[in-house]
Amino acid sequence: MSLGAEKAGVDVQVAVEMDPYAAQTYKVNHPKTRVIVKDISQIEDLGCKVPKGVVTVLFGGPPCQGFSISNRRTRSISNPGNWLFKEFIRIAYLWEPEWIVLENVKGIAQLNHGEFLKTIIKSFRGLGYACSWFTLCASDFGVPQIRNRFFMIGSRSGIHVTAPQKSNGKIVTVDDAIGDLPALHNGANIDNMAYRRKANNNYAKGLRDGLNYCTGNLVSKNSDAVVERYSFIRQGGNWEDIPDEFMSTYADKKRCHTGIYRRLLATKPSVVIGNYRKNMLIHPFEDRGLSVREAARLQSFPDSYVFCGNLGAQQQQVGNAVPPKLSEVVFRHILELENG
């Protein structure tokens, strides 16, 4: 969200992140922002002195795993992670920003018959904010991924925010996004590599930003049995394409989640880039999982954005992120309303 906010013109002063790897990544890519590496519940003061007349915004995404429709295990009111939005509300009470932007998965509006969303809206209205909310699909705004995200916007000035208009540009495909990246193999571990070819579309050109190499060319090493399963899957297909005799390690093949063993379709936007290693998302042409950089491209991160930590940590950071291009759209929309 910070990258999109910065590109829209927001001066991000302070960030809170308790995960050490994510905090390291943030510091490397946002050197001008002060990063507080701490549990949000332990913070009483952001230490941010705002000059008079400067418009402020508090934004973030309380952990969303408990709200996700695909999360059947902890998707309930008993999941303590579902209540961390109260810390977001508490910080808003302490800091009193002019604007609030809360991002989450669309399931937050459905969980417990919408009671969570009602509680959030009631809380922010009680602090004096006019609240607006909507769900946006990233592929409608130039991101090569069908990823739905919920946004709630709060305004102390009483401004009601309608959803941004969809982009008029063409849909960006998986091949548009990653076709120029290096050819890799299962378990590839050379971080820094030259591009495979020249970028042939505006999306890839924009993310390359003049670089002649990219980092993050790291791929999880799957067993020979898993790679053999990959070979049977057509573009757009999933585990159903794998012959039964190659799925003998599964107690019941038919109970597999539809997102498992999904080979991306080159001519369409990607499916959700969540936990893409666990889901074993497959490259459209090569029998392997996605690299960190390929997943980052599908999320709309520029190639100059570096991810820190071990491979699992980098994969988690990319999968958890809000697509920066989508975040930028939301913040530009708010700034237009503020300036207008």
Helix (H) / strand (E) containing 136: strand 130-137
Q: Are 196 and 183 in contact (CB under 8 A)?
A: yes
Q: Which pLDDT score, from 0 to 100, does residue 45 have?
A: 85
Q: Are 68 and 75 in contact (CB under 8 A)?
A: yes
Could you give the CA distance from residue 315 to residue 328 in angstroms, rounded to a whole number? 22
Could you give the CA distance from residue 182 to residue 214 in angstroms, rounded to a whole number? 9
Positive or negative, the CA dihedral 218, 176, 332, 166 is negative
Alpha helices in 83-201 (DSSP H): 85-95, 115-126, 174-178
| 256: annotated active-site residue | no
Amino acid 287 reads: D
Could you give the CA distance from residue 33 to residue 48 in angstroms, rounded to a whole number? 11
| CA distances (Å), origin 267, targets 171, 176, 200, 270 | 10, 8, 15, 9
| CA distances (Å), origin 248, targets 132, 177, 225, 251, 260 | 50, 35, 11, 7, 16
Contacts of 339 (CB under 8 A, 6+ apart): none
Could you give the CA distance from residue 237 to residue 205 in angstroms, rounded to a whole number? 29
Could you give the CA distance from residue 83 to residue 89 in angstroms, rounded to a whole number? 11
Q: Are 308 and 24 in contact (CB under 8 A)?
A: yes
Distance from chain centroid for Cα 159: 27
Q: Which two tokens stand for residue 288?
A: 């392997």
Q: Which pLDDT score, from 0 to 100, does residue 68 have?
A: 46
Q: Is 254 exposed, middle or buried (0-12, 13-18, 19+ CB in 10 A)?
A: exposed
Q: Which pLDDT score, from 0 to 100, does residue 332 have?
A: 97
Q: Which pLDDT score, from 0 to 100, does residue 78 have?
A: 53
Could you give the CA distance from residue 266 to residue 312 in angstroms, rounded to a whole number? 25
Amino acid 88 reads: F
Q: Which two tokens stand for residue 130?
A: 């006019």
Consecutive sets of 10 residues in the chain, 340 residues long: mean pLDDT of each? Answer: 97 95 98 95 86 92 60 50 80 94 87 80 96 97 96 96 93 98 97 96 95 96 95 95 87 70 97 88 97 98 98 96 98 92
Catalytic annotation, pick one of 48, 64, 137, 214: 64
Closest by alpha carbon to 148, among 203, 103, 99, 102? 103
Domains, the chain? 2-164+322-339 (3.40.50.150)
Closest by alpha carbon to 178, among 313, 283, 312, 278? 283
Q: Which residue has the tokens 């012959």?
A: 243
